[in-house]
Structure 1
Amino acid sequence: MEETLLNLRASVNAFLSQFEPILLIFYPLLALFISWILHFSFCFLQEHGLRATFLGFLMSLAKLIPGVRKYIENEKQKVVEKLQSGSKSGRDSWQTELPKVRSGREVIEMMEKEKGKDVVWQGRCSGTVYIGGSQSEGHFSLTNEAYSMFSHTNPLHLDVFPSVARFEWEVVAMTSALLGSKETASGGQVCGNMTSGGTESILLAVKSSRDYMKVKKGISKPEMIISESTHSAYDKAAQYFNIKLWRVPVNKEFQADVKGIRRFINGNTILIVGSAPGFPHGIIDPIEELGELASSFGICFHVDLCLGGFVLPFARKLGYPIPPFDFSVEGVTSISADVHKYGLAPKGTSVVLYRNHEIRKHQFVAVTEWSGGLYVSPTIAGSRPGGLIAGAWAAMMSLGQEGYLENTREIMEVSKRIQKGIKDIPELYIVGRPDMTIVAFGSNDINIFEVNDIMSSKGWHLNALQKPSSIHICVTLQHVPIVEDFLRDLRESVKTVKENPGPISGGLAPVYGAAEKMPDRGTVHELLVSYMDGTC
């Protein structure tokens, strides 16, 4: 028996030896393939978690079955059509080609007719329009006049329009002085530019950080780390600039998890991000701890002050316990702050700031070999509307320290009143501890998205959130005189949902709820893209 086994083993070895040259080539390729699969799986698990990875895998397999895939596509189309139902109505009469010449008066009348179809936003929108009260009419008149006066200007041509170049310089200098710069742009290091909004400011900060770290550390496969509460503009930046993005869950206080972020830092990390405050819950991330982390690893650290830039400095002066959030924190390399939010400038104005010129240089694009001449541009846009820069300058000059201080006092007081009013509603809870003027709230007893639908039917336009399911209101000056109206309508809406559970007719609660719970995030992604493709 033993001899038979030895003979069999010898025969097998002889057979396999014939394939040895092939196996010597195949084994390394197989090992490389398995290594790649394991690396991809590990990265996916890190980013999405075990449950989401497993369910996503099952959904991918299910889609391979023709009948299942067709069913999913049909259901997806139903959701898209429901989402688009309002935005597509009336498009049959839209202009599709150039008309015959019309008089100026006729054109204005057509525009006034269309404006009349807009939602009545005064007082009932979360964020959106930040000016309000008795000052709004005069403020709009001022910024509109400033825009009109410089509507023909373009800061791309500095030699032709030095006026708007000065306005931009001064807006940047005044903003940097608010945000921790002890020196002005003329004598110090903090510098920056105006942009079209928070997203462009963020895109530029990410692009500059990427290119700066490539020069400083030779990083050619850049990665950046954000938390779940960080604005989606960073996802856009990651896609635009080919940067690997790691999204880390927030901690129990709904802040950026410093320890969690630290675990993702590696030799390719170029940037970490903190928000002051985060858009979903109005909570300030631990900026000092994140600054120390960035400094210890020698990487860039961007602070998103798009919402807080023109509130937090004044809230601190009013005595609110505002933690450090700006360039006074060591490690902060860039900041974004929107002037068109609480700065009360015309829409389309933001500022991106850098700790020094060495970083900002990487924001610029310079072209030397174009037949059209030498070209250099500071921002994503080449031509820029000088009228918006002039409008922002006019807003900041007219309001001054006293104006912003008084505005902050009013909106901070209103946000505290709203927090107290929500706490008095037993079915609701506040998400975390808001630091500023955003108040997010959810419920363990009723469907919060149904509450949102009913609030919408009463004319309120709030923001639906996920992780956890909740909604928020971003308090502006519009809400100062009607805060009690909001709390009354909220109490009534909660009562209605509690007594009549189930989605209201025409509401979007089922869509929001299904989107949050759907394990296959790829399908949710497809829904969003299909919705946008049909509405713009």
Structure 2
Amino acid sequence: MAAAVFDILKQLLSPFRLGHKYVQDKVNSVFEGQDAWRVAIITCGTTLAIIKLHELQHNHEQHLITRLKKRIFKLLRKLPSVQKKISSSLEETSRVIDESIKKSINSDAYLTAIPEKGLSDDEVLSELKRYRAYGTVDWQEGWCSGMIYGQDSKLTSLLAKSYEIFAFSNPLHPEVFPDIRKMEAEVVRMTCSLFNGGPESCGVVTTGGTESIMLACLAYRNQAMERGIKIPEIIAPITAHAAFDKAAMTFRMKLTHIPIDPVTREADVNAMRKAINKNTCVLVGSAPQFPHGIVDPLKEISELGVKYNIPVHCDCCLGGFLVPFLDQAGYPIDPVDFRLPGVTSISADTHKYGQAPKGSAVLMYKTPDYRKYQWFSITNWPGGIYATPTFAGSRAGSEIAACWATMLYVGIDGYVESARKIISTARAFTKILRSIDGLKVFGDPKLSVVAFGSDQFDIYRLSDALTERGWILNPLQFPSSIHICVVMAHTQAGVVERFEKDVNECVNEIMKNPSAPCNGAGALYGMSQQIPDRSVVEEVTEIYLNASYNTNAQ
């Protein structure tokens, strides 16, 4: 029997053996008559070239195509004609941005030095009120998308008192502030419970979704590097939050973006499966993603994580304090929490639908085995042993106290009721937008964000028209669209009706000449998508950021 099997294997392998013999003869003929030193140099040189090519393709935080594009555009920008045109455009953009910023503060001068003599409390309060008057948009009326998620004057008063009590507290020194240490631990545990975390689930309080996401990526990077991976790779949908890009840039990681389904706007799980490789350190899904408010197929992504033994991060920053209450609110969705076996970490923002003040969020892990990789400690510093749980050293204990106070004040009943109001309002907006000829809603938004566009006219024309009527919505790109993120202010009586009236009237006016170009502020947003060299767009954002800090004489 063994002999028969051996004969079969010989027959199967014979073509390969013949092929191997052919290659061997070819190589021998190439090097026939060559000196040994020449063969050795050619062999070493070829090996080094192959290694270099492999590193060029794989051992870099940016994909090869991305690097090639940047290189080409960099060379093109050196052409005098191109350089002149771009410089002229950027100078004009800088002028427009400067004028806009000046206008927003009534061209008032900036303070550039501390006053020689301190002001009285009444004088400081007067100045605070004067500065507050610069803001002309009243978000409490329900005209703004997102931004401010809660609306409760009694809670605001309570938070002011909590700030006063813990204004100078610092979690860096738990021996002095055991109260804040206990509060932070309780905020984390209460949040883990909401997401069905087991007894081993754990986490930290962060300053917001960006820090939560970056810390999770840092943990998975460190875990991967411990296994010998040089450039750990994040695999995330193109709709994943930009904080993943920031994490990749900061921690020298590679970020592979996968496409989304063009109809449902959900992450393409098949594309994610194909993208997985030996360097993959984390898979990402959102609940919901920011642009279109769509919940990614976390169950399928979780299954990939289990199958390939790769951690899965659920970005629930936006929906964190809606998702746990949807069943009780009457709007159930499939689980997107620690009940999914592959989900190893979740980020949820308490300063969004958690109704806490800006500056607090929670990052959760399924077990401490993951969290330990985000810790920072240095044990040989002359200043002593130094260890921190997040990026910051000193932290504002008042933010943790305010978050803790908010969760106790609102309670489960309060969160369920706010979820019911917000989701029902979002569904009302969705119904309105789907009923208007010329508009289309992206996917099936199940939570608080509703994105819409048009196949018949430039959607930025509608964005500009609604801005003129006082609405502040979010412009999106790739594809051109806008969205509204529903918050408590939108649930007030009359807001939905006003939205329906304004959108209908604006669209009717636009449809009188649907092919007309966008000439307002939206035109710049539309044009930016047509610029293939994204470094030019980056320079525009740089101009804006610089202008925001410019205190030169007006």
Alpha-carbon distance in structure 2 between the residues aligned to 1:364 and 1:522? 34
User: Does 2:245 match 1:232?
Assistant: no
- Partner of residue 108, structure 1: 125
Query: Identity, % of aligned pairs?
Result: 39
Q: Map 1:93-492; keep pairs closer than 5 Å.
A: 93-100=109-116, 101-118=118-135, 119-122=137-140, 123-132=142-151, 136-181=152-197, 183=198, 188-215=199-226, 217-252=227-262, 253-481=264-492, 482-492=495-505
**Cα offset for 1:92?**
5.8
SS in 1 for 2:417: helix
**Cα offset for 1:450?**
1.5
- Partner of residue 527, structure 1: 540
Give the conservation status (yes or no) of the 8 Å contact 1:221–1:243. yes
Alpha-carbon distance in structure 1 between the residues aligned to 2:342 and 2:528? 37
Q: Which moved more, 1:69-78 or 1:233-242?
A: 69-78
**Cα offset for 1:489?**
1.4
Counterpart selection for 1:67 from 81, 95, 98: 81
Write the letter of the residue equivalent to 2:139. Answer: W
RMSD over aligned CA atoms reads 2.7
Give the conservation status (yes or no) of the 8 Å contact 1:155–1:384. yes
Alpha-carbon distance in structure 2 between the residues aligned to 1:43 and 1:370? 32
In structure 2, the CA distance between the partners of 1:508 and 1:40, relative to structure 1 (3 Å rule), is: farther
Alpha-carbon distance in structure 1 between the residues aligned to 2:258 and 2:125? 50
Unaligned runs of 5+ in 2: 1-32, 550-554
In structure 2, the CA distance between the partners of 1:281 and 1:151, relative to structure 1 (3 Å rule), is: same
Write the letter of the residue equivalent to 2:110. Answer: W
In structure 2, the CA distance between the partners of 1:42 and 1:494, relative to structure 1 (3 Å rule), is: farther
Q: TM-score, normalization: structure 2?
A: 0.85
Q: Summarize deviations over 1:162-214 as a string: whole Å, max 9, x none.
A: 11111111111111111122x4xxxx210011011111111111111111233
Alpha-carbon distance in structure 1 between the residues aligned to 2:300 and 2:270? 10
Alpha-carbon distance in structure 2 between the residues aligned to 1:230 and 1:59? 26
Q: Summarize deviations over 1:256-306 as a string: whole Å, max 9, x none.
A: 111111212111111111100000111111111111111111121110010
In structure 2, the CA distance between the partners of 1:73 and 1:28, relative to structure 1 (3 Å rule), is: farther
**Cα offset for 1:255?**
1.0
Give the conservation status (yes or no) of the 8 Å contact 2:183–2:400. yes
Q: Summarize deviations over 1:208-264 as a string: whole Å, max 9, x none.
A: 11112333x332321111111100001001111110111111123111111111212
Q: Summarize deviations over 1:403-433 as a string: whole Å, max 9, x none.
A: 0001011011100110010011101000111
Q: Summarize deviations over 1:80-127 as a string: whole Å, max 9, x none.
A: 443454224456601111112211111110110110111322211111
Give the conservation status (yes or no) of the 8 Å contact 1:213–1:299. no
Write the letter of the residue equivalent to 1:224. Answer: I
In structure 2, the CA distance between the partners of 1:373 and 1:58, relative to structure 1 (3 Å rule), is: closer
**Cα offset for 1:503?**
5.8
- Partner of residue 10, structure 1: none
Write the letter of the residue equivalent to 1:115. Answer: R
Give the conservation status (yes or no) of the 8 Å contact 2:426–2:486. yes
Write the letter of the residue equivalent to 1:67. Answer: S
In structure 2, the CA distance between the partners of 1:515 and 1:41, relative to structure 1 (3 Å rule), is: farther
Alpha-carbon distance in structure 2 between the residues aligned to 1:115 and 1:218? 53
In structure 2, the CA distance between the partners of 1:41 and 1:23, relative to structure 1 (3 Å rule), is: same
In structure 2, the CA distance between the partners of 1:245 and 1:151, relative to structure 1 (3 Å rule), is: same
**Cα offset for 1:25?**
5.2
Report how many aligned residue pairs link the two structures.
Answer: 507
Unaligned runs of 5+ in 1: 1-16
Write the letter of the residue equivalent to 1:86. Answer: S
In structure 2, the CA distance between the partners of 1:53 and 1:203, relative to structure 1 (3 Å rule), is: closer
Alpha-carbon distance in structure 2 between the residues aligned to 1:41 and 1:491? 51
Write the letter of the residue equivalent to 2:420. Answer: R
Q: Which moved more, 1:142-151 or 1:168-177?
A: 142-151
